[in-house]
RNA sequence: CGGGAAGUGGCUCAGCCUGGUAGAGCACCUGCUUCGGGAGCAGGGGGUCGCAGGUUCAAAUCCUGUCUUCCCGACCA
């Protein structure tokens, strides 16, 4: 038997060659969508019998779902191995000490699942594995001669998300492929980073995902450079700004844009206060004083608490703050809007009448779009009053300028003449140049060629496995169900015995099933005592790329019917194994 | 953490306002018919109405608390 097994991509997991008959397969499909499912990947993965929810943000993979996950993992593993990464398997349960060393036991806050062992020792469930991998590197790597190393694992991560949502897209327990590179110097890191970037491109391509590679905000990970792999879908939670003309693409957490220059006359008139009773929003003020205070001539004054310290943040009235940028600019770890009473204590007025003119006790961070602007209107820090004729440089001398504005669709690209587009997207991968942040904290050093002890230069590279599955469904489905990319489909071919009680039908379906298995395909045989309609519906839901329908009607004419899930293309094929095999091969290889 | 909604059989929901001891469709079991796009008829099994208190002669229904789930926001390597 093994001798007859062609070495095809599809037969890379020989143990899956086992009998896959739907009469015994546990694939509980649902006619109706569960009431709590909103996004289509959630709806179809549940309806198709791939997953079931156990608790908020915690899902069980059923046999179909697990097959898909293993397909994705297989692709990831192959591409990691191909660039010389070595697979590990680290514990999910960590002692506190290892997280104390980097300070992240505190930093991770309530997002980390924590528990105590029987001896009362603090433990946690790993959110990520920088600490553990670096710990091993610290203990074991001594010399630059042992570098570079690239280590990875495919492992469960736990994060106590404040708000799990969208099925498997935002969960509290999930699988991640996380890889870490260890080099003596920046140049080595650049090489490792580039190798991972290329491997990621191949992974997402092989999984049938169109992705955008975008510049990203490094956040709590730190590091000098990071890029995210984004899949465009409304189910995503990120926004990506991109320019068609030059290819610039960035998460709006870091994206910059070019604004049309605004006129800035010399400041002539002194600022003066004017009454604005009950005008508490930019819009209300602009509507009441259309010439004096259109939104773009107003200064929006926000009060933020950055690591316990109040800051004023100023933006043009019609611009929005990007908190991630504020975080980067201030270097703050915890950033939040101030509460109303904190604001009143500091400025003596409520939101709606706030401004920075005359404020010297608080740091004032001003968005670059306001640099050099004159004839502006802002709050007077007295309820019901605003100030006009404000010149930013003259009247707010303590201003520190920085880009903290969220870019908007339609604004000019900062690199070329194009216009920016803003898309919703789902993050499926993120690669970081970490540098020495973790190696320094954990004293992971090696001796370089000159005998100097230097911290290892690290990179970190993550992929969300379940997110790839869900993203594929978001990108590839129709009203009837999933349309799997053939590389990660639970089966390539779904053979339906429409009337399993009919001897000719049953015999042909069995022959095709076994024959296609022998040809190296993964095949699901629907041999259930169900009506044809039920089988068609389930086949559409489960979403195998090719459906082979064997029915009594066709058998009378000596044919079976092949349908391509992707575009519904139907062909009749002579009811014999070689014909069907040829047709299946051509359909699958076309892509 | 702030705001909103919902918990009634495996699933989707009605009943609640106006208290009187639980219903439909789907699914499941039996039989007959049907048999290429989620079949029809007949019969049948299955629910302490999320949980805990309270009001009442009587609570799915009214009141209080609590838990869970979903949505929006905040937050988020």
**Is A102 in the same domain as A241?**
yes
The string of DSSP codes covering A535-591 is HHHHHHHHT-SEEEEE-HHHHHTTEEEEEETTT--EEEEESSHHHHHHHHHHHHHT-
**Is A149 in the same domain as A277?**
no
How many Å does it take to go from CA A160 to C1' B13?
32
DSSP for residue A17: G
Q: Cβ within 7 Å of strand B: which of A 138-157? A: 157
Statement: the pTM of the whole predicted model exceeds 0.90: yes
Asked if residue A523 is part of any domain, the answer here is yes
**Is A495 in the same domain as A526?**
yes
Asked if residue A90 is part of any domain, the answer here is yes
Condensed to tens digits (0 to 9), the pLDDT of residues A292-338 reads 899 999 999 999 888 888 889 999 998 999 988 888 888 877 788 88
Instruction: Indicate which CATH number applies to the domain containing A580.
Output: 3.40.50.800
Asked if residue A44 is part of any domain, the answer here is no
Cα separation, A540 vs A551, whole angstroms: 17
Asked if residue A150 is part of any domain, the answer here is yes
C-beta atoms surrounding A413 within 10 Å:
23
Task: List the domain range (segments joined by +) for residue A580.
Answer: 2-20+491-589
**Is A154 in the same domain as A62?**
yes
**Is A136 in the same domain as A167?**
yes
pLDDT beneath 50: ranges in chain A: 1-17, 591
Cα separation, A530 vs A544, whole angstroms: 19
**Is A452 in the same domain as A336?**
no
Identify the domain boundary among A379, A405, A431: A405
Chain B bases closer than 7 angstroms to a protein Cβ = 1, 11-13, 25-27, 34-39, 68-77
Q: Which nucleotide is nearest to A561 (CA to C1')?
A: B36
C-beta atoms surrounding A397 within 10 Å:
10
How many Å does it take to go from CA A521 to C1' B40?
39
**Is A304 in the same domain as A277?**
yes
> How many domains does one find in chain A?
3
SS3 A330: helix
**Is A65 in the same domain as A144?**
yes
Asked if residue A436 is part of any domain, the answer here is yes
Cα separation, A230 vs A228, whole angstroms: 6
* Strand B proximal to A220 Cβ, under 7 A: yes
Angle between helices A465-475 and A63-82 (to 10 degrees): 110
Asked if residue A35 is part of any domain, the answer here is no
Instruction: Indicate which CATH number applies to the domain containing A180.
Output: 3.30.930.10
Q: Say if CB A408 and CB A422 are below 8 A apart.
A: yes
Asked if residue A182 is part of any domain, the answer here is yes
**What are the residues whose beta carbons fall under 8 Å from the beta carbon of A35, sequence distance 6 or more?**
none
Cα separation, A310 vs A304, whole angstroms: 6
Asked if residue A136 is part of any domain, the answer here is yes
- pLDDT confidence of residue A219: 65
- pLDDT confidence of residue A590: 56
* Strand B proximal to A537 Cβ, under 7 A: yes
Q: Cβ within 7 Å of strand B: which of A 277-336? A: 323, 327, 334-336
Q: Which nucleotide is nearest to A166 (CA to C1')?
A: B70
Partners of A281 in beta bridges? none
**What are the residues whose beta carbons fall under 8 Å from the beta carbon of A490, sequence distance 6 or more?**
A50, A64, A67, A68, A71, A484, A522, A524, A542, A544
Omega of the bond leading into A148 within 30 degrees of 0 (cis): yes
- pLDDT confidence of residue A11: 42
Q: Which nucleotide is nearest to A481 (CA to C1')?
A: B38
* Strand B proximal to A553 Cβ, under 7 A: yes
Nearest 5°: phi and psi at A116? -120, 145
Cα separation, A358 vs A336, whole angstroms: 24
* Strand B proximal to A53 Cβ, under 7 A: yes
Question: What token pair was written down for A132?
Answer: 């553990």
C-beta atoms surrounding A164 within 10 Å:
20
Identify the domain boundary among A405, A438, A465: A405
Sign, CA torsion A142/A147/A153/A158: positive
- pLDDT confidence of residue A331: 80
B69 C1' closest Cα residue: A56
């Amino acid at each position: 038997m093994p001798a007859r097994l062609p070495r095809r991509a599809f037969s890379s997991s020989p143990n899956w060659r086992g009998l896959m008959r739907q009469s015994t397969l546990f694939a509980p499909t649902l006619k109706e969508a569960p009431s709590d499912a909103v996004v289509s990947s959630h709806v179809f993965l549940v309806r198709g019998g791939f997953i079931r929810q156990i608790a908020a943000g915690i899902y069980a993979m059923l046999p179909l779902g697990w097959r898909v996950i293993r397909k994705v993992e297989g692709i990831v593993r192959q591409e990691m191995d191909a660039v010389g990464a070595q697979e590990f398997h680290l514990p999910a349960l960590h002692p506190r000490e290892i997280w104390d060393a980097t300070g992240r036991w505190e930093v991770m806050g309530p997002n980390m699942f924590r528990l105590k062992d029987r001896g009362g020792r603090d433990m946690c469930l790993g959110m990520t594995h920088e600490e553990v991998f670096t710990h091993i590197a610290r203990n074991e790597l001594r010399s630059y001669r042992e570098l570079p190393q690239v280590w990875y694992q495919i492992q469960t991560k736990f994060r106590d998300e404040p708000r799990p949502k969208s099925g498997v897209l935002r969960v509290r327990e999930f699988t991640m492929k996380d890889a870490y590179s260890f080099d003596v110097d920046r140049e080595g890191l650049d090489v490792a980073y580039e190798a991972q970037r290329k491997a990621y491109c191949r992974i997402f391509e092989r999984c049938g995902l169109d992705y955008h590679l975008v510049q990203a905000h490094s956040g709590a990970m730190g590091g000098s450079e990071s890029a995210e792999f984004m899949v465009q879908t409304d189910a995503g939670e990120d926004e990506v700004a991109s320019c068609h003309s030059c290819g610039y693409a960035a998460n709006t957490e870091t994206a910059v844009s070019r604004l049309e220059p605004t006129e800035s006359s010399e400041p002539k008139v002194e600022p003066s206060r004017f009454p604005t009773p009950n005008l508490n929003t930019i819009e209300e003020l602009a509507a009441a004083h259309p010439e004096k205070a259109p939104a773009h001539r107003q200064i929006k004054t926000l009060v933020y608490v950055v690591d316990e310290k109040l800051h004023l943040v100023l933006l043009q009235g019609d611009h929005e703050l990007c908190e991630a940028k504020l975080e980067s600019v201030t270097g703050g770890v915890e950033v939040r809007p101030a509460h109303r009473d904190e604001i009143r204590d500091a400025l003596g007025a409520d939101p709606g009448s706030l401004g920075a003119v005359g404020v010297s006790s608080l740091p004032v961070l001003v968005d670059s779009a306001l640099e050099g602007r004159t004839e502006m209107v802002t709050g007077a820090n007295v309820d019901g009053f605003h100030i006009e004729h404000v010149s930013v440089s003259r009247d707010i001398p303590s201003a520190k300028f920085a880009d903290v504005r969220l870019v908007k669709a339609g604004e000019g690209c900062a690199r070329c003449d194009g216009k920016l587009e803003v898309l919703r997207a789902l993050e499926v991968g993120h690669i970081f140049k970490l540098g020495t942040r973790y190696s320094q904290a954990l004293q992971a050093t090696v001796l370089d060629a000159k005998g100097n002890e230097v911290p290892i230069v690290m990179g970190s590279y993550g992929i969300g496995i379940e997110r790839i599955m869900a993203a594929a469904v978001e990108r590839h489905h129709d009203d009837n169900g999933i349309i799997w990319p053939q590389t990660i489909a639970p089966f390539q071919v779904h053979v339906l015995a429409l009337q399993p009680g009919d001897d000719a039908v049953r015999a042909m379906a069995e022959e095709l099933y076994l024959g296609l298995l022998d040809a190296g395909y993964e095949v699901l045989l629907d041999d259930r005592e169900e009506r044809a309609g039920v089988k068609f519906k389930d086949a559409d839901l489960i979403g195998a790329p090719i459906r082979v329908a064997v029915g009594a009607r066709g058998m009378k004419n000596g044919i079976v019917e092949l349908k391509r899930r992707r575009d519904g293309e139907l062909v009749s094929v002579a009811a014999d194994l070689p014909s069907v095999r040829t047709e299946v091969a051509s359909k699958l290889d076309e892509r």
